[in-house]
Amino acid sequence: MNNTTGETKAELTYAVVFGTIMSIGFPLNAIAIWILLRHHSLKSPNVIFMLNLAISDLLLACSLPLKVYYHATGAWPLGYTTCIGVALMFNVNIYSSSIFITFISVDRLLAVVYPLRSRHIRTARNAVKAVILTWLLLIVIAILVCIEFGKHWKLYTESFCVKHQRNTITETTTESHMSDPSRIVQLILVLVLLVVNVVSTVLVSLTLRRNVKDLPEVNNRVNVMLLFVMSLIMFFVCFLPKTIGSFMKDELTYLKCIVATNCCLDPVLYYFSLDAFWKKKEERKP
């Protein structure tokens, strides 16, 4: 009885956490998209990356109401297909957010460390190409995940993608879970992108030790460094624990709660990354 009561309280806690994240993340990212489209030029690579990051986070927030319902009621009435759809919207966000955050960091790295030599690289056309390739990659990953789920669907409950595997899973299936290609690819991708962000942070930090007057692309040294600090926090707190935790036999739900918070934290990047984020285009310096 105590165990049942404890599990019920835990599920209600998860419902409250996901509900809170949804109520904060959805309006923040919706407003961010509106501001980026209305007040900023899409000729800026940084704006293009942030717009796509906000879209990715908005998709994540859209998946949370169904998670709230499941954890609050313990029931999943929407069927297997919808369940997988929610899982994809939730899990693909780790790929998309980590990639777009890295694009933002690399763009700032080039602007600060190589302001003149990188002008032909930091163009809107190249940014659009990078975004298109990223979404194509995400579609391929989503297809591979669906195929992997389909191989073992008989061994799972309908709601496995929002909670955990059934206790009747065989040892062979557990080994397959541990060697799931999508999880391995996710771990490699997150680690590689983390290294890129760490290197970018170090190079920018060393460059900013010089006189800021020598760096025409830098208007606020503190904001620049806070952007990189926020990016690293996102990786170490949100993405890496969830990615490593996905290899556990029973993936912990609280890790999913933590990774979901990135949709609330990402809008902070927009403020640090763009000068005069709230100002209209005609109010900013040319």
In a domain, residue 286? The reply is: no
**Cβ distance 230 to 262 under 8 Å?**
no
Q: Which residues contact 48 (CB under 8 A, 6 or more apart)?
A: 42, 124, 127, 128, 131
In a domain, residue 38? The reply is: yes
In a domain, residue 253? The reply is: yes
Task: Give the other-Cβ count within 10 Å of 178's Cβ.
Answer: 13
In a domain, residue 201? The reply is: yes
HSE-CB of 211 using CA atoms within 13 angstroms: 2
In a domain, residue 172? The reply is: yes
Q: Which of 18, 208, 222, 34 is nearest to 109 (CA)?
A: 208
Question: For the whole prediction, is pTM greater than 0.75?
Answer: yes
pLDDT of residue 85: 79
**Cβ distance 184 to 88 under 8 Å?**
no
Cα-Cα-Cα-Cα torsion 178, 183, 188, 190, nearest 10 degrees, comes to: -130
Q: Which residue has the tokens 């403020």?
A: 271
Where on the phi/psi map is residue 74: left (φ > 0), alpha (ψ -120 to 50), or beta? Answer: left
pLDDT of residue 211: 59
Q: How far is CA 203 from CA 103, 114, 118, 195, 231, in A?
A: 15, 11, 15, 12, 15
pLDDT of residue 35: 87
SS3 content of the chain, % helix, strand, coil (to 5): 80, 0, 20
pLDDT of residue 7: 67
CA 170 to chain centre: 32
Looking at the chain, how many residues does it have?
286
Q: Domain range holding 114?
A: 2-276
Spatial distance between the Cα atoms of 112 and 218, rounded to a whole number of angstroms: 7
SS3 161: helix
Spatial distance between the Cα atoms of 286 and 283, rounded to a whole number of angstroms: 9
H helices of 209-239, in order, are: 221-233
In a domain, residue 194? The reply is: yes
Look at the chain and report how many structural domains it folds into.
Answer: 1
HSE-CB of 253 using CA atoms within 13 angstroms: 20
pLDDT of residue 4: 63
In a domain, residue 110? The reply is: yes
Spatial distance between the Cα atoms of 220 and 225, rounded to a whole number of angstroms: 9
10-residue stretch averages of pLDDT, the chain, 286 residues long: 64 90 92 87 87 93 88 77 78 89 92 85 93 93 75 54 39 45 80 94 86 55 82 90 74 79 85 55 42
In a domain, residue 282? The reply is: no
CATH number at residue 47: 1.20.1070.10
SS3 67: helix
Name residue 225's amino acid.
M
